[in-house]
A and B are shown apart, each in its own frame.
Chain A
Amino acid sequence: MSTVATTDPVLTPGQASGISLRSRLQDALPKIVLAPSFVITLIFVYGFIVWTAYLSFTNSKTFPSYQLTGARAYQRLWRWTFESDPPSSWYTSITNMAIFGFLYVGICLALGLLLAILLDQKIRGEGLLRPIFLYPMALSFIVTGVAWKWFLDPGLGLEQTLHHFGWTSFHFDWIKNKDFVIYTVVIAGVWQASGFVMAMFLAGLRGIDGEIMKAAQIDGASPLQLYRRIVIPLLRPIFLSAFIVLAHMAIKSYDLVVALTSGGPGGSAWLPSNFMYEYTFKRNEMAVGSASAIIMLMTISAIIVPYLYSELKEKAR
């Protein structure tokens, strides 16, 4: 401050322009630094979304083609969704997405909250338990998938081991069963992510003002009421961020399905991401793959946009 005071009275023109240049530079600096990443994001995310949308209306096969041929790809997906018995791969993919998304997000939230509440009871060895629950998150989906593949394989893992110990009537072959294989994906996914959700909730619980809790206790609230009426409502922002994180993990989980089930018997474990990759890159049906990607995008938007809108509106108020 003192330097400003000393230079304040007499300003030569050179000094004035120097300062204004500097301050202009300072003003522009964030924009200059942000510009490259802004441009890159603009092109590589939004540009390619537009490109994919365009391709979905062409007859692209192995290589992109730019000749518009109408919504044939969408018509195929549409027909595959409603008009096929046995279910088509696309129908299987989207029903699997619904089952997996609902159970994965739901169970992770419930289990994460339960673990966090239990860990929050000032139990001994919390420092040891916390990382034990959290660490599965450090594994990639591929590792999780392979480990659970061995564990759930009737010829190698759980079933074989229990038979070995004498419980020969035990039977668990979900991973080889077309009707249940998607639930094994849920099991492995929940195992990996619920610890992470627990950590988020734990942070939220620790952030709750103890005074409110004490006041409620003095008013005679039981522990159950305390959690139901005060703690859980206060955790609402954590629920929302956990939901966003889990929902996008559910939608992008391609690798877990591949590593755990290699697609499942007759393709019965496919998710839309598997469908998109298969058709675009392995079957040389780029138009159909693009159409499926656009439908995925629209589905996600239908969930995320209203949420973001309500959040932003709340902030603005």
Chain B
Amino acid sequence: MNKFLTTTAVIALALAGAHVSARAADVKEVQMLHWWTSGGEAAALNVLKEDLSKEGFAWKDVPVAGGGGDAAMTALKAMVAAGTYPTASQMLGYTVLDYAEAGVMGDLTETAKKEGWDKSVPAALQKFSVYDGKWVAAPVNVHSVNWLWINKAVMDKIGGSEPKTFDDLIALLDKAKAAGVIPLALGGQNWQEATMFDSIVLSTGGPEFYKKAFNDLDEEALKSETMKKSFDNLAKIVKYVDPNFSGRDWNLATAMVIKGDALVQVMGDWAKGEFVAAKKTPDTDFLCYRFPGTDGSVIYNSDMFGMFNVPDDRKAAQVALATATLSKSFQSAFNVVKGSVPARTDVPDTDFDACGKKGIADLKAANEGGTLFGSLAQGYGAPPAIANAYKDVVSKFVHGQIKSSDEAVTQLVQAIDDAR
């Protein structure tokens, strides 16, 4: 078996073109694989590096070229197969569970008990950071997906107000259209379309329905009239997109709202990072509302540091990393910059801006009310095979390969069934 794994490692390495050297690890060093390379993200990570250096641990980035995480995940696969585990790696949702199932994750339960993570980290996140009763990952943040980002100047110009229902939103988009502004900024990539559809399903069917359909993958729910209605609503809202949207990156869509070319974008709170980077402030330059009809619920994704099964002499560095990651000071400092909210519900919101404060309050309420759901589009609703099958269907519907909502529902059920 080991020989096979080594072979796997060699082929994966060759395919990824990643150069990961299997060198002896320094025990006073934290080896970290991540794809946070943009200015804000790197600055946010520096906080963690400094925290660790105070305790005498050096920081070593495992080099991975290419953003977005795909290249990093391929390199990680190769490293793990070769048995040279990094101390920790940035991971998303079901990936953590995949690796835990493969038996390569470490065990941080002792630290977790001592630090009281069980109580402070929302149960929905624990589903991904705890495997088989053991803590295997440290959540870094919570992004929530069901937001509207609105340019305030444009909103004032067209005389709009916060949309409370889906129909309000359509009326607002109509107003923008009449005023000659692009109503909806959307990037025509499948994950962006599916991210928006996550919100539409929650808005159309309510929290119970979202959970049943997109977290439990209940076939009745997936086939239901409500799901058809969600696709109809998607068709309605897509009409407000400019004709040139296909293939556009999400940050370019955000830039359209920032510049006032477009009124609104439906996007996760990483969009706030773009507004902040453009020196815009909430409530004066831009507005953040929950997607109409989803107030009180949060569709989330979360960045996690997956902790690998390192030898005992490197364990101290790993524990230090995990403790620092979940410390209140780091959670606050990091998430102020990143645009997300802390992964524990007991962090004070003093340093956050208006949208951040709202995000923290919403997360707390959703956690207590049981309305915190993993985003299917972002890999927290189901494993990658299913999440991607879902994104395919939504994207084909948006771009007209699938023509009716009946057809879309049939396709969705079949695609999810295939990928199971």
Interface string of B53-84 (1 = CB under 8 A from A): 00000000000000000100110010001000
**Cα of A51 to Cα of B419 in the assembled complex, Å:** 23
Residues B407 and A86 in contact, CB atoms below 8 Å apart: yes
- A267 with B4: in contact, given A51-B11, A61-B385, A262-B189 (CB under 8 Å)? no
| Chain B residue at minimal CB-CB distance from A153 | B244
Q: How many A-B residue pairs have CB under 8 A?
A: 88
**Cα of A135 to Cα of B356 in the assembled complex, Å:** 52
Q: A268 in the interface, Cβ–Cβ < 8 Å? A: yes
- A284 with B395: in contact, given A62-B77, A86-B401 (CB under 8 Å)? no
Residues A178 and B401 in contact, CB atoms below 8 Å apart: yes
How close is A241's CB to chain B, nearest CB, in angstroms?
28
- A282 with B243: in contact, given A63-B77, A76-B418 (CB under 8 Å)? no
Residues B11 and A265 in contact, CB atoms below 8 Å apart: no
**Cα of A197 to Cα of B389 in the assembled complex, Å:** 40
Q: A176 in the interface, Cβ–Cβ < 8 Å? A: yes
| Chain B residue at minimal CB-CB distance from A278 | B388
Chain B positions within 8 Å of A86 at CB level: 396, 401-403, 407, 411
Q: A48 in the interface, Cβ–Cβ < 8 Å? A: yes
Residues B247 and A262 in contact, CB atoms below 8 Å apart: yes
Residues A44 and B418 in contact, CB atoms below 8 Å apart: no
Give the interface size class of chain B.
Answer: 35 or more
- A176 with B247: in contact, given A86-B407, A89-B392, A262-B189 (CB under 8 Å)? yes
Which residues 389-405 of B have a CB within 8 angstroms of A? 389, 392, 395-396, 398-403
Residues A66 and B388 in contact, CB atoms below 8 Å apart: no
How close is A242's CB to chain B, nearest CB, in angstroms?
29
Chain B positions within 8 Å of A76 at CB level: 418
**Cα of A41 to Cα of B246 in the assembled complex, Å:** 42
Give the size of the chain A interface in residues (CB under 8 angstroms). 33
Q: Is the interface of A mostly helix, strand, loop or mixed?
A: loop
Residues A176 and B395 in contact, CB atoms below 8 Å apart: no
Chain A positions within 8 Å of B384 at CB level: 282-284
Which residues 129-148 of A have a CB within 8 angstroms of B? none
How close is B398's CB to chain A, nearest CB, in angstroms?
7
How close is A72's CB to chain B, nearest CB, in angstroms?
10
Q: B190 in the interface, Cβ–Cβ < 8 Å? A: yes
Q: Is the interface of B mostly helix, strand, loop or mixed?
A: helix
Q: A170 in the interface, Cβ–Cβ < 8 Å? A: no
Chain B positions within 8 Å of A87 at CB level: 401
- A267 with B392: in contact, given A51-B7, A63-B102, A284-B384 (CB under 8 Å)? yes
Which residues 248-262 of A have a CB within 8 angstroms of B? 261-262
- A266 with B98: in contact, given A63-B8, A76-B418 (CB under 8 Å)? no
Residues A155 and B244 in contact, CB atoms below 8 Å apart: yes
**Cα of A209 to Cα of B4 in the assembled complex, Å:** 57
Chain A positions within 8 Å of B74 at CB level: 281
**Cα of A262 to Cα of B7 in the assembled complex, Å:** 31
Q: B14 in the interface, Cβ–Cβ < 8 Å? A: yes
Q: B188 in the interface, Cβ–Cβ < 8 Å? A: yes
Q: B383 in the interface, Cβ–Cβ < 8 Å? A: yes
- A285 with B190: in contact, given A62-B77, A66-B4 (CB under 8 Å)? no
Chain A positions within 8 Å of B188 at CB level: 176, 265
**Cα of A265 to Cα of B247 in the assembled complex, Å:** 7
Residues B400 and A178 in contact, CB atoms below 8 Å apart: yes
Residues A281 and B401 in contact, CB atoms below 8 Å apart: no
**Cα of A61 to Cα of B407 in the assembled complex, Å:** 28
Chain A positions within 8 Å of B246 at CB level: 175-176, 264-265
**Cα of A177 to Cα of B398 in the assembled complex, Å:** 12
Interface string of B160-200 (1 = CB under 8 A from A): 00000000000000000000000000001110000000000
Which listed residue, A44, A63, A278, touches B81 by the CB 8 Å rule?
A: A63
How close is B213's CB to chain A, nearest CB, in angstroms?
20
How close is A273's CB to chain B, nearest CB, in angstroms?
13
Q: A204 in the interface, Cβ–Cβ < 8 Å? A: no
**Cα of A265 to Cα of B238 in the assembled complex, Å:** 14
Residues A261 and B399 in contact, CB atoms below 8 Å apart: no
How close is A192's CB to chain B, nearest CB, in angstroms?
20
**Cα of A268 to Cα of B11 in the assembled complex, Å:** 29
Residues A284 and B4 in contact, CB atoms below 8 Å apart: no
Q: A64 in the interface, Cβ–Cβ < 8 Å? A: yes
How close is A10's CB to chain B, nearest CB, in angstroms?
56
Residues B399 and A266 in contact, CB atoms below 8 Å apart: yes
- A267 with B388: in contact, given A64-B8, A281-B74, A284-B98 (CB under 8 Å)? no
Q: A154 in the interface, Cβ–Cβ < 8 Å? A: yes
Chain B positions within 8 Å of A267 at CB level: 190, 392, 395-396
Chain A positions within 8 Å of B81 at CB level: 63
**Cα of A175 to Cα of B396 in the assembled complex, Å:** 16
Chain A positions within 8 Å of B73 at CB level: 281
- A268 with B401: in contact, given A86-B396, A281-B70, A283-B384 (CB under 8 Å)? yes
Which listed residue, B244, B388, B398, B411, touches A283 by the CB 8 Å rule?
A: B388
- A266 with B77: in contact, given A153-B244, A261-B247, A282-B388 (CB under 8 Å)? no
**Cα of A153 to Cα of B242 in the assembled complex, Å:** 13
Which listed residue, A62, A262, A281, touches B98 by the CB 8 Å rule?
A: A62
- A62 with B102: in contact, given A87-B401, A154-B244, A285-B419 (CB under 8 Å)? yes
| 14 pairs, A vs B, C-beta closer than 8 Å | A51-B11, A63-B77, A63-B81, A89-B392, A176-B245, A178-B399, A263-B189, A264-B246, A265-B398, A266-B401, A268-B399, A281-B70, A283-B389, A284-B385
In the A-B complex, the 4 residue pairs with the closest CB atoms: A266-B399, A265-B399, A176-B246, A266-B396
A63-B81, A284-B384 known; 14 new pairs, CB 8 Å cut-off, are: A51-B11, A61-B385, A64-B4, A66-B4, A76-B418, A86-B403, A155-B244, A175-B246, A262-B247, A265-B399, A266-B392, A282-B70, A283-B389, A284-B98
